[in-house]
Amino acid sequence: MPGLVTVFGGSGFLGRAIVGRLVADGFQVRIAVRQPGKAGVLERLDRAGAVQSMSADIRDEASVAAAVAGARAVVNAVGLYLERGAETFEAVHVRGAEKLARQASRAGVGQLVHTSGIGADPASPSAYVRARAEGEQVVASAFDGATILRPSVLFGPGDSFFNSLADIARHSPLLPLFGRGKTRLQPVYVGDVAEAAARVLAAPAGRGRVYELGGPGTFTYRELVELLLREMALERPLLPLPFAVWDLVAALSAILPSPPVTRDQLALIRQDNVVSPDAWTFDDLGIRPTAVETVLPSYLSKSHAEPA
């Protein structure tokens, strides 16, 4: 075995892909999650006891210290997209990330891979984006040589992006657009991001770098919606809605447990989400990213386009 890797958030969409990739490479993997039962879906990946799970909360320093003990490397794949009570962007993406990086350093962990996102900016109007940027900064300060992965919008079986759009398309007579749908996105296959994490762990020369990970195609939001409709063999009118209308929707629905859209999501969709021209990318890791057109058909079946 190449060694033990602790993956925080290993039961999430990206975390599951990373765990699977590391197991395939022969790593022992410790999945650190608040509810270890959620990691049960990963049991099929277990090879001769290669996967274990344990209870750990990234906000609790003692449990973080226990989770990183004895690990050769640590991956932070924790993602929080909607604040609930004490689970805030600040608590998870900044203070939690700092605790993880500090404890990994104290434990003598050799490598830390921290996942963030393209567009992380401490001056962003989005609390989520600001927290991602601040998280990068505190991680870099607390762990010398931490590697940061900034993926664009993730896609793949079980994703929240295309699957949410598909659900709306199946049950709504039209699809609303954010503004005119001109925001540019560079969707990235979740398996490619997992491959990037694995290659970073296998090649310590990349320590301390920030990689921006986007797919091979750049699309407007409208073009992605049109692509989804073609794949589903559906015809739906597209309705451009001014951001002022969306701002009102976000304000009125803020009290709901699961609002249809939040202010932070609107701040994100207002900005292009594409790889910077001078960034370290998949190319530097020897990875040819997967086109969205080649994967989308595998989980959006035309035969189930219309509701039953």
In a domain, 266, yes or no: no
Residues in the chain: 308
For the chain, how far is it from start to end, CA to CA, in angstroms?
48
Residue 249 confidence (pLDDT):
92
Q: Is 25 inside any structural domain?
A: yes
Decide if 42 is inside a domain: yes
What domain count does the chain have? 1
Instruction: Specify if 303 maps to a domain.
Output: no
Q: Are 205 and 294 in contact (CB under 8 A)?
A: no
Residue 194 contacts residue 17 (beta carbons within 8 Å): yes
130: in domain: yes
According to the model, what pLDDT value does residue 16 have? 94
pLDDT of residue 172: 93
Q: What is the pLDDT, as a whole number, of residue 306?
A: 46
- Is 28 within a domain? yes
Q: Is residue 83 part of a domain?
A: yes
Residue 125 belongs to a domain: yes
Q: CA-CA distance, 36 to 293, in Å (whole number)?
A: 34
258-267: Cβ within 8 A, 24+ apart:
258/82, 259/82, 262/82, 263/126, 264/89, 264/126, 264/127, 264/128, 264/129, 266/178, 267/124, 267/125, 267/126, 267/128, 267/129
pLDDT for the residue numbered 12: 92
Q: Is the dihedral of CA 11, 18, 70, 44 positive or negative?
A: positive
| pLDDT values of the chain reduced to their tens digit, one per residue, 308 residues | 478 999 999 999 999 999 999 999 999 999 999 876 665 545 555 555 688 889 999 999 999 999 999 999 999 999 998 888 889 999 999 999 999 999 999 999 999 999 999 999 999 888 999 999 999 999 999 999 999 999 999 999 999 999 999 999 999 999 999 999 999 999 999 999 999 999 999 887 778 999 999 999 999 999 999 999 999 999 999 999 999 999 999 899 888 888 888 888 888 889 999 999 999 999 999 999 999 999 999 887 643 444 43
Instruction: Give the per-residue pLDDT at 44.
Output: 58
CATH of the domain at 53: 3.40.50.720
Domain interval for residue 138: 4-155+187-215+274-287
